[in-house]
Amino acid sequence: MQLQTGTTLRDYKIKKLLGKGGMGTVYLAKDSFLDRYVAIKELNPILTADADLIARFRNEAKLQAKLTHLNIVSLYSFFEQNGRYYIVMEYAEGKTLKEVIRQTGPITETRAIDILKQILSALEYAHGMEIIHRDIKPSNIILDGSDRVKILDFGIARILGERGLTQTGQQLGTVAYMSPEQVKAEKDIDSKTDVYSLGVTLFEMLSGRMPYDLNTESDFVIMNKIVHDRLPDPRDDYPYISDKNIDLLAIMTEKDRHKRADIVELELYLSGKNYVGKSERRKEIEAKEVKRIDIKVDSKDPGDATEEGLHVQKNKKESKNLLWIIILISIILGVKMFSKIDVSKNHGDNEINSMIFVEGGSFEMGSDDGWELKERPIHDVTISSFWIDKYQVTQKEWKNIMRSKPSKIKSDNLPVQYVSWYDAIEYCNKRSIKEGLMPCYSGSGDDITCNWEADGYRLPTEAEWEYAARGGNKSRGYKYAGSNTLDDVAWCKSNSQNKIHPIGQKSPNELGIYDMSGNVCEWCWDWYDASYYSKSPKRDPHGPDSGKSKILRGGSWEFSDGTCRVAKRYPIHPLNCDSYLGFRVVRAFN
């Protein structure tokens, strides 16, 4: 039975019916205690006998409770009354994007892209929480009078990898907006299903119509087209769409999700980074899969690790000549003794071999600046002392170790570019071995582990990076690494003249470290988890145990000013390698 106007549920008085959906009915209500309007969703009473559907409804509440973002409808409460189940949500005033398109026809490109960016921001946040929407479509997107976006109905979302409520083969989502993998009921649906659905939504915004005729085509025909046919050209209906946005549609609606752009790539594309030719770029990335590291370091003596031992299993010959073993160990011990003497001699200068000594201490990690929820909450972290590169790793340094230059613009004093996370890990171990140090990394693929006691080179943790960028215990609280004026300390989109620059041309930060806010972005060790800050250890956090993306820190010559803040963090796939990707290394202070 439909609730009548004036009905009271706890502190909520029903004002009117807002709409009905497959899962339930939505009402506008007034919260008499807080004096605000809310939306209340009631599970369809006919379905309450189905325990699985009730469980799914509970799951919707739990998922939404985790999401706090400017562009996502907030969950206020969940309760049961008289055998019926209710979710109390933020009331998003405005019109659905579907209604706007029906009223206006094609939306101008500038307006459509602004709406798209807001949706991408919300999805990036949700995906960082390992939550997929699975039903992105215009009718689930509310626009207020200023075109601010609110995304509705995470009711058929599910946490990645969860196998509980949604059975294999069960289709969830509106057919016309489904991704090919949803149509095929693949088991491992990931975040790129939302990218595809958003691509179809963008098609509708730009052309003023859906890509399929729901009046004449059956669900079967539409699903067959989704799997096998490209989307029609939206310019057949509205010829004034730019080539750039046609290309954008293409990379969002790739049939093969492994070739489809992810959220970070779309944001880069929209900021001016050209991702046309996506399929070719993906071929390069996929080719790197064979390079995923297989490291074996079984001894704490670096003499037991071969220089090429990152891809070749270590073979010990029991018949090694004892004399050669003694000579090798002597050389290694000599190098290590020299290193220790050198460090001791130069410690007072705070620098050795272009590495800066960062004295340990405590700081407040994160930021409340703007709407970047993945930088919250601000939390206290204590860092042990370590050494960090004064400069980003250069092409010359890279070539000396790796015997190649991946960068397209070649110059010894430029930061190395087009480096994946796995490439950086490989460099660290090879350089450690070459210098007679104990390599830090072992394992392969997503199972690479770090020996934090090793004296070799490694990537900084996210916490080490931010502590050093802020100036360590000499910090003056700057927004960027060394200044509140970005142009003084970094190369970014506004001053780079669209090119990378040699290291060390801008001013250093308080510790004497250069370019941490901009030239190339820098890989960190940590896996990404949007909620990690709320559960991070207080001392020397190393990040989550696993994940889909690695952490990238610092700005780039290609990026806008806002991306250069010391607190800014990006999730990015560890196989990515592009013109904005570089790194610097650290060593433990033993």
Active site residues: 135
The rounded distance, in Å, linking the Cα atoms of 538 and 536 is 6
The rounded distance, in Å, linking the Cα atoms of 215 and 143 is 27
Q: How many CB atoms lie under 10 A from the CB of residue 218? A: 10
- The residue with tokens 């087209």 is 225
Cis peptide bond prior to 377, omega within 30° of 0 = yes
Residues 62/377/269/417 CA torsion (nearest 10 deg): -130
Of 516, 521, 551, 520, nearest in space to 533 by CA: 551
The rounded distance, in Å, linking the Cα atoms of 121 and 370 is 13
Q: Is 114 strand, coil or helix?
A: helix
Q: What are phi and psi of 248, to 5 degrees?
A: -60, -45
DSSP H or E segment with residue 113:
helix 109-128
Q: How many CA atoms lie within 13 A of 403 on its CB side?
A: 4
Between the CA of residue 424 and those of 65, 260, 406, 418, 553, what are the distances in Å? 38, 25, 12, 10, 14
Sign, CA torsion 417/423/426/428: positive
The rounded distance, in Å, linking the Cα atoms of 308 and 320 is 19
Between the CA of residue 7 and those of 1, 3, 32, 91, 444, what are the distances in Å? 12, 7, 13, 18, 61
The rounded distance, in Å, linking the Cα atoms of 7 and 506 is 66
Of 119, 117, 153, nearest in space to 133 by CA: 153
Between the CA of residue 32 and those of 13, 29, 78, 225, what are the distances in Å? 7, 9, 17, 50
Q: Is 233 strand, coil or helix?
A: coil
Of 104, 101, 102, 133, nearest in space to 119 by CA: 133
Q: How many CB atoms lie under 10 A from the CB of residue 147? A: 14
The rounded distance, in Å, linking the Cα atoms of 232 and 212 is 9
The rounded distance, in Å, linking the Cα atoms of 382 and 364 is 9
Exposed/middle/buried for 463, CB within 10 Å: 0-12, 13-18, 19+? buried
